Structure 1
Amino acid sequence: MLTENRPLFSYSSASIRYVCVHDLAGARMALQVADQAGYAGCVGLLSPQGAVAFMGVGWWQALVSAVAESASRTFVHVLDCGSSPAGALMALRCGQQAAILRPQNPQYEAVSALYAQQKAELLPQRPSSFNFIMPLSGISSLVGYFAHGYCQHQHPENNVPDTRQKKDCSI
């Protein structure tokens, strides 16, 4: 299995290009396109926003396992738990080594301490990512992301994706 289910702090955050994937086909395509674009850095598979609540930990683990069976490169993966501390704890218990939990949650510090104790990483916000939604017409944009570093950002005031292509992806 080529998945790197280990803490993200073992990588420099600038060396990971995240792709938000919604299904198995999209996850496999993201890794394939990274290879085709000649991207030598680490690929991060990112679940949809708040996915733990509507897709579950089991879904994410099954998706990542299926991707790893056919992957030709290593990758990291992050499960977005939204504002659910229970979801973040379930993910940790199931072996997830990287998750997102909104820090506005009163239990954030306690959950963060448990993640640190297990040498896992709990992120307070979603990293910049390319939101890859099928159909395959988005592949040319994904190639640009891996080849040139273009990505999508969240607009901080209204939490709506800013889809303008940008070179600087280090928010």
Structure 2
Amino acid sequence: MAVYHAAHKAGVLKPDAGMAPFGFVSAPGAAGFMGMGWWRALLGRMEEATDCRWFDALDCGSSVGHAMMALTQGQKNVILQTDSRRMDAVRSVCEIAGGLLFFARPPSFDLTAPLSSQTHLAAYFARSYCEKMVPGNRGPAIKPRGRISQ
């Protein structure tokens, strides 16, 4: 919720925006030690509380089993770090699910770090690529490449 409030305060997240111009990445390997159900429940509760949808990706570490289970149970986007042969099998299921498969963790702001106070979150949004994604905001000229599917 701190991220939501900081983004709203920085002007990155507008009321009734629908889909936020940023998202959430689970902790490394979270599919194995926290589970997909926990991740979906957390994001679902945040969406209910804020009336906003988020892009999210569940980190499965190197576990093809966790990635496959997550994808077949409703998770759209997963991070998997494994060899290319095993990655191909997961990629097929991910494409059918309409999601994205990441072979490396995307850039993110670490919310567990001591610098994740409201002030630092607001500064992150005020100076990040997210600002450029909101019309009328000035920010870096670099936008993320590619399209985020839902």
TM-score range, shorter chain: 0.7 to 0.9
- In the alignment, is the contact (CA less than 8 A) between 1:31 and 1:73 conserved in 2? no
8 Å Cα contact 2:57-2:78 kept in structure 1 = yes
Q: Which has the higher Rg, Structure 1 or Structure 2?
A: 2
Contact 2:110 2:116 in 1 (8 A): no
Q: Alpha-carbon deviation of 1:90?
A: 0.9
> How big is the shift at 1:113?
1.3
Number of residue pairs aligned between Structure 1 and Structure 2: 128
- Counterpart CA distance in 2 for 1:126 and 1:36 is 27
Segments of 5+ residues of structure 1 without an aligned counterpart are 1-27, 151-166
User: Over the residues paired in the alignment, what is the CA RMSD in angstroms?
Assistant: 2.4
Other-structure match for 2:80: 101
Q: What are the Cα deviations for residues 118-171 of structure 1, in whole angstroms up to 9, with x where unaligned?
A: 222111111100001277862211111111018xxxxxxxxxxxxxxxx8897x
Deviation of 1:74 after TM superposition, in Å, equals: 2.9
Are the equivalent residues in 2 in contact too, given 1:149–1:169 (CA < 8 A)?
Answer: no
SS of 2:81's equivalent in the other structure is coil
In structure 2, distance between residues paired with 1:91 and 1:105: 19
CA distance in 1: counterparts of 2:116 and 2:23, whole angstroms: 21
Q: Which amino acid aligns with 1:101?
A: L
How far is the alpha carbon of 1:115 from its aligned partner? 0.8
Kindly indicate whether residue 111 of structure 2 is the aligned counterpart of residue 132 of structure 1. Answer: yes
Amino acid in the other structure paired with 1:88: A
- 2:4 counterpart of 1:31: yes
Moved more, 112-121 or 130-139: 130-139
Q: Relative to total residues, which structure has the larger strand share, 1 or 2?
A: 1
Q: Secondary structure at the match of 2:78?
A: strand
1:52 aligns with: 31
Cα separation, partners in 2 of 1:86 and 1:116, compared to 1, 3 Å: same
Distance 2:101 2:70 in 1: 11
Residue 160 (structure 1) aligns with: none
CA–CA distance in structure 2, aligned partners of residues 137 and 83 of structure 1: 28
> For structure 1, which segment, 47-56 or 65-74, has the greater mean C-alpha deviation from structure 2 after superposition?
65-74
Structure 1 residue 117 corresponds to structure 2 residue 99? no
Provide the rounded CA distance (Å) in 2 between the counterparts of 1:73 and 1:118: 21
Residue 91 in 1 paired to residue 70 in 2?
Answer: yes
Structure 1 residue 72: Cα displacement: 4.3
